[in-house]
Amino acid sequence: MKKKKIILGMSGGIDSSVSAWILKEQGYEVIGLFMNNWNDNKKKNNFCNNKKDLIDAISIADIIGINIKIVNFSKEYKKYIFSNFIKEYKKGNTPNPDITCNSIIKFNFFLNYANSILKTNLIATGHYARIKKTLKGKYKLLKAKDLNKDQSYFLYRLNQKQLSKSIFPIGNFYKTKIKEIAKKLKFPNVNKKNSTGICFIGKRPFRKFLNNYINYNPGPIKTTSGITISKHIGLSFYTIGQRKGIGIGGIKKNIYIKKKNTPWYVAKKNIKKNILYVVQGHNHPWLLSYKIIIYKTHWISGKAPKNFSILKAKIRYRQKDSKCIIYYYNKLYILYFIEPQWGAAKGQSIVLYNKNICLGGGIIK
């Protein structure tokens, strides 16, 4: 019988590398696809992944015995991901480009490319997540078996079509097992560290990068009582809950500051008046939210949860699930939490779960 063809997104990392080996062992005709999603004329290295990643991906493909191709999605990335990233930061929000990249680039343009150019409608990635098909033909996105590595948070905007054409080969494995396999196969990237942060920024200082696209707009930094204690460089360059880099470390002698050694946190932004508010103490009330409104919601099944459903939610990746009640009112979803959520920032994604099933989520308004 002819082997079923599948296109695997290969980043040069250990997870996608072992995914390629697993798929070949399962009898698939595997073709690796290295995606270049970023082109920056100001940098010699125009790969969102660096050149070492490309070399690693090619080396792994050679060891496993599969073909690998390189595709350039940088124009699509700038149009649909990066432009929105800058737009949101200009508003003072805190977007997550990895989430939109997954739904638009990795599971849309990638899927279309696999279908039209490589003549297959089946794709795979090295994400830690699982897909389950129900008896009614619906597809569910499940958390990974290794909950410490679960990446369903970044995949909550996938739809039924995308899930029906996708495979996550390592969703049922623990990271320790993936490393064990890579070591046994003598993969050159076995000790490679996982990539962190936003790929197109790399190791560059975030503010310096952002300033290439957003001008500084200084304004006052105030306390909750309205006292000005310093100046900020522009609201776009701060996020709710931020502790480092606020620029108020030298105000210990200010006569209005009573708690000399208590750390400061960004707590609120007044966009119209260009004011940044800061508070002292990790558990200050201004940093805690019992109610969060979300919009731009997406539900994986195509159907929203019932009103007053008791669910679990994450307001950021790796955060512990928090119990909440969902309520739909005036075209918006309101989440009421049993325990207060810390540092909820506009533009962040909240992802909702029913046990280990990822239902979808939305953007904090």
Mean pLDDT across the chain, nearest whole number?
92
Query: Where residue 252 falls among pLDDT bands split at 50, 70, 90?
Result: low
253 and 237 together in one domain: yes
Pairing mode of beta strands 219-222, 228-232: antiparallel
63 and 137 together in one domain: yes
pTM to 2 decimal places? 0.92
For position 260, what pLDDT does the model report? 64
247 and 293 together in one domain: no
For position 186, what pLDDT does the model report? 94
Residue 188 is given by DSSP the state T
Domain termination site, one of 282, 298, 330? 282
Q: Is residue 177 part of a domain?
A: yes
Q: Is residue 193 part of a domain?
A: no
Query: Where residue 44 falls among pLDDT bands split at 50, 70, 90?
Result: very low
36 and 132 together in one domain: yes
Which residue range(s) make up the domain with 293?
Answer: 288-364
pLDDT at 277 over 70: yes
Which residues belong to the active site?
101, 199
Q: How many C-beta atoms lie closer than 10 Å to residue 303's C-beta?
A: 10
229 and 358 together in one domain: no
Domain termination site, one of 262, 282, 302? 282
The CATH number linked to 238 is: 2.30.30.280
pLDDT at 257 over 80: no
For position 52, what pLDDT does the model report? 85
The CATH number linked to 165 is: 3.40.50.620
For position 45, what pLDDT does the model report? 46
Domain count, the chain: 3
Q: Is residue 139 part of a domain?
A: yes
Residue 251 exposed, middle or buried by CB count within 10 Å (0-12, 13-18, 19+): middle
Q: Is residue 194 part of a domain?
A: no
The CATH number linked to 299 is: 2.40.30.10
Q: Is residue 190 part of a domain?
A: no
Query: Where residue 38 falls among pLDDT bands split at 50, 70, 90?
Result: confident
Domain termination site, one of 184, 215, 249? 184
Q: Which of 108, 84, 95, 109 is nearest to 159 (CA)?
A: 108
233 and 333 together in one domain: no
294 and 216 together in one domain: no
237 and 332 together in one domain: no
Please state the rounded mean pLDDT for residues 11-31.
96
pLDDT tens digits, residue range 51-106?
A: 888 999 999 999 999 999 999 999 999 999 999 999 999 999 999 999 999 999 99
Sign of the CA dihedral with 38 first, then 43, 49, and 52 last: positive
Share of the chain above pLDDT 90, in %: 83
155 and 242 together in one domain: no
For position 1, what pLDDT does the model report? 55
